A and B are shown apart, each in its own frame.
Chain A
Amino acid sequence: MVETENTSPPSVPPAEVEEVELYHATSFWTKYVFSQDAKIIAIQYSGVAIAIGFVALVLSSLIRLQLGFPEMFDFITPETYYQFVTMHGMIMVVYLLTALFLGGFGNYLIPLMIGARDMSFPYVNMLSFWIYFLAVLVLVGSFFVPGGPTGAGWTLYPPQAILSGTPGGKGLGIILMLVSLALFIVGFTMGGLNYVVTVLQGRTRGMTMMRLPLTVWGIFTATVLALLAFPALLVATVMMLFDRLLETSFFMPSLVEFGDQLSYGGGSPILFQHLFWFFGHPEVYIVALPAFGIVSDLISTHARKNIFGYRMMVWAIVGIGALSFIVWAHHMYVSGMHPYFGFFFATTTLIIAVPTALKVYNWILTLWNGNIHLNTPMLFSLGFIVTFLNGGLTGLFLGNVIVDIPLSDTMFVVAHFHMVMGVAPILVVFGAIYHWFPKISGRMLHEGLGKIHFWVTFVGSYLIFFPMHYIGLVGVPRRYPELGDAAFIPDSVATLNSFISLAAFTVGVAQILFLYNVFWSLRKGRPSGSNPWRATTLEWQTPHTPPAHGNFGPELPLVYRWPYDYSVPGAAEDFLAQNDPGSLDSGSST
């Protein structure tokens, strides 16, 4: 730290606009149910997302029951198995992770971290949640209709998705799925516009884009991706609904089904794949970028060290976001595309490894020589880095056409994406909950329970997914309810499958521990004070914990510095908060 002559206090630019009048709720209903306060909406979003996530967790246990112990459970038929697989995938990716990261963490953290009183459009924000809730209700409703939910796989590929051979294909299952997705997109767009406008136009004085915490950068970029990628899914759902309900032939070629010539003809199933993956690949980064951002803040705070290469981290997030729009067809190598396209998409896919690796190196260099506190948020962050790295490495296999083709549709793919976009973001979700729970509730989560939760989840995930790579490499296909007798499948696969299932049940049960911890700590947790982690970002500097309506009391905070001034020499504590002008005699930091 360079000692500089600095006699005048640092200044921030003057306010450009007057503050916006806040909506003040008066009744219980407008305060807590139809709330326009982003913090309440965030908790509503998170609650619904985690609740439906637990449904998906139970579904995954049912999948593992079948795979680990085939023919033992009469209630799992091939049809129900496909339904479990489909709903598990769709819920986890869209209704849990997307909603939780953007609707949950986005709503809670964006206004607090950028120094705003609320989102730009609180009313639209409220609508966003309620439409999301409706989407979840429609989704849950599909479990109870005749024929049950759709069993088309989470990718919903036509033609099979709307044919009678697929569970829910001729019933209501697929219709409700598509309607629910369309509702989700409408609701998300309302929230997404809020997040983007709030970050771009609603920051407090002194808060420049390059002083935003990386969490906000991650959520912001992910929201931009979502606003541009979800249109493809919306169009695909609308077109498939028409194919199903009006018997148009957008995606449907001429077909003979059970000996009957269907009325479809001339459509292109490949078109659906393109539309789906034009959404589906950015979706991976919609989930991953907020995780990147959050983990950067967690590591920096709990290692008491500034983030290494902040600007690089920002541009890596933006770069990954941009690249994610030109890699989608690497999910379609076996669709019969021209080899030159395969070449193009393999190249762009591997280029993404550059900014991603850059981020991993920067996290490691942030930890390097840091004062690492091995508490629960830090453990989950470390777990994320390792898991993301492992999942990314298998991505190199699958990104190359020639290696991908034999591995396509095997359990190797399942293991890969569960590592990289299942386990890794979920670890960040847990880390983030342990980190921000004190701000949301005013109480600490129980540290001992947290550590048990971490180790069981982390080690358990590896016991589940490492053997799965091997199962995939020997050629076991995915989405098969049971394998039967096949010459190429060794006996060890059955043993491993049982082992994986046992590990999966253990991890599943450990999540109940987490729920217990949350509910126990809400009542009996140790009071946290306003800034238990001695963190620098604005959400920890609020006058009230949990933050009151309007977040910051009468005056909005002024921002003087970036969010990573940890271990500052000469500072009264070892950190300088973003709204701390800094003591004049101790040297200024930029």
Chain B
Amino acid sequence: MTDTSQVQVTASVDRTTGLSGLVEDWSSDQRAFKNVSWRKAMMWIFLLSDTFIFGIFLLSYMTSRMSTKVGWPNASEVFSLHIGHTNFPLLLIAIMTFVLITSSGTMVLAVNYGYRKDRKLTAIMLLVTALLGATFVGMQVFEWSKLISEGVRPWSNPMGAPQFGGIFFMITGFHGTHVSIGVIFLLVMAQKVWRGDYDTQRPGFFTSRKGDYECVEIMGLYWHFVDLVWVFIFAFFYLW
């Protein structure tokens, strides 16, 4: 992969902006998205496809919820934490959401430090992001075990419709898998940044392609996407 920060746009033509600029770019040769590298384009298209997966999961959830015969459990009761003598509805989930949104912030910092070629701070921010992501997954494990101890199973649910258990575990599980994969990639990337792979143009272990700090931004795209999906899951599961 060429280093896109050193792209040689031999023709220093001012590109038109707006709609006519869009048409001009798409009618040009070589690239439809000017100054977008291959890997960034790939990540965007992958995220589009992944959006469809989550969108269809959520649509299936809505359909099931509307067509089930038994009533749906009350979210503010099911997802409440019992601390002392009071029930705090949505307390855990509020913390989880806060942690995940915060991790988006540290990811932005990592991207920023990456483009400043600040190797150490980038790596630290990536590690913090990974830590926050792992915390999120950990709290999800806690939430799952709490629900399981209360008798919620994929096939049954003492609090109402059996579909609640199945759909909850499936969709949060699918999202949690996304977060976990993200954490693994963040750790790998933190190690690469720390070692200076993006400064020394060290070829990748599997792909033998050279990376640069744009990779941090692409990682960020994925991470923000996973956060954004969580916002929708949060809205549809916990607030409805």
Contacts and interface: CB of A to CB of B under 8 A. Distances in A.
A396 interface: no
Q: State which size class the interface on A falls in.
A: 35 or more
A223 to B, nearest CB: 10
B36 A17 contact: no
B162 interface: yes
A268 interface: yes
A196 B45 contact: yes
A271 to B, nearest CB: 5
B75 interface: no
Nearest to A246: B154
Contacts of A211: 29
B40 to A, nearest CB: 9
Contact of B64 (A17, A227, A228, A267): A267
B161 interface: yes
A200 B41 contact: yes
Contacts of A209: 26-27, 32
B70 interface: yes
B16 interface: no
A239 interface: yes
A97 B166 CA distance: 34
B155 A249 contact: yes
A230 B50 CA distance: 10
B155 A246 contact: yes
Contacts of B95: none
A189 B48 CA distance: 12
A383 B236 CA distance: 51
B162 A249 contact: yes
B20 interface: no
Nearest to B153: A246
A227 B53 CA distance: 10
A271 B45 contact: no
A13 B42 contact: no
A120 B8 CA distance: 19
Nearest to A227: B49
Interface in A233-281: 234-235, 238-239, 242, 246-250, 263, 265-268, 271, 274-275, 278
A225 to B, nearest CB: 11
A121 interface: yes
B69 A265 contact: yes
A32 to B, nearest CB: 18
Given A14-B10, A16-B7, A266 B70 contact: yes
A203 B26 CA distance: 12
Given A207-B29, A231-B56, A250 B163 contact: yes
Contacts of B30: 13, 15-17, 201, 203-205, 207
Interface in B7-26: 7-11, 26
Q: State which size class the interface on B falls in.
A: 35 or more
A123 interface: yes
Interface string A189-230: 100111011001111111111110000000000000001101
A275 B56 CA distance: 8
A250 B155 contact: no
B169 to A, nearest CB: 9
Interface string B224-238: 000000000000000
B32 A265 contact: no
Contact of B53 (A17, A120, A123, A235): A235
B200 interface: no
B50 to A, nearest CB: 8
Given A15-B10, A242-B166, A268-B63, A208 B29 contact: yes
A232 interface: yes
Contacts of A235: 53, 56-57, 60
Contacts of B53: 231, 234-235
Interface in B190-212: 206-210
B68 interface: yes
B155 A205 contact: no
Contact of B56 (A196, A202, A232, A268): A232
B31 interface: yes
A470 B197 CA distance: 68
Max count, chain A CB within 10 A of own CB: residue among B10, B39, B52: B52
Contact of A202 (B7, B38, B68, B165): B38
Contact of A268 (B45, B57, B64): B64
Contact of B162 (A120, A189, A266, A268): A266
Max count, chain B CB within 10 A of own CB: residue among A12, A18, A197, A228: A197
Nearest to A13: B29
Contacts of B26: 209
A20 interface: yes
Contacts of A123: 206-209
Given A246-B155, A275-B56, A201 B162 contact: no
A196 B31 CA distance: 12
Contact of B9 (A16, A23, A278): A16
A192 B46 CA distance: 9
Contacts of A201: 30-33, 36-38, 41
Contacts of A318: none
Contact of B2 (A18, A194, A232): A18
A201 B36 CA distance: 8
Which 4 residue pairs of A and B lie closest in terms of their CB atoms, listed nearest first?
Answer: A248-B166, A14-B10, A231-B52, A231-B53
Interface of B: 1-2, 4, 7-11, 26-34, 36-39, 41-42, 45-46, 48-50, 52-53, 55-57, 60, 63-64, 67-70, 154-155, 161-163, 165-167, 170, 174, 206-210
30 contacts: A15-B8, A16-B7, A16-B30, A17-B4, A17-B7, A17-B8, A17-B31, A120-B38, A120-B42, A121-B38, A121-B42, A123-B209, A193-B46, A201-B31, A203-B30, A210-B27, A227-B48, A231-B49, A232-B52, A238-B174, A246-B155, A247-B155, A248-B155, A249-B162, A250-B166, A263-B155, A266-B67, A266-B69, A266-B162, A275-B56
Given A16-B7, A123-B207, 16 more contacts: A15-B8, A17-B2, A17-B31, A123-B209, A201-B31, A202-B38, A203-B30, A206-B29, A242-B170, A246-B166, A248-B163, A248-B170, A249-B162, A268-B67, A271-B64, A271-B67
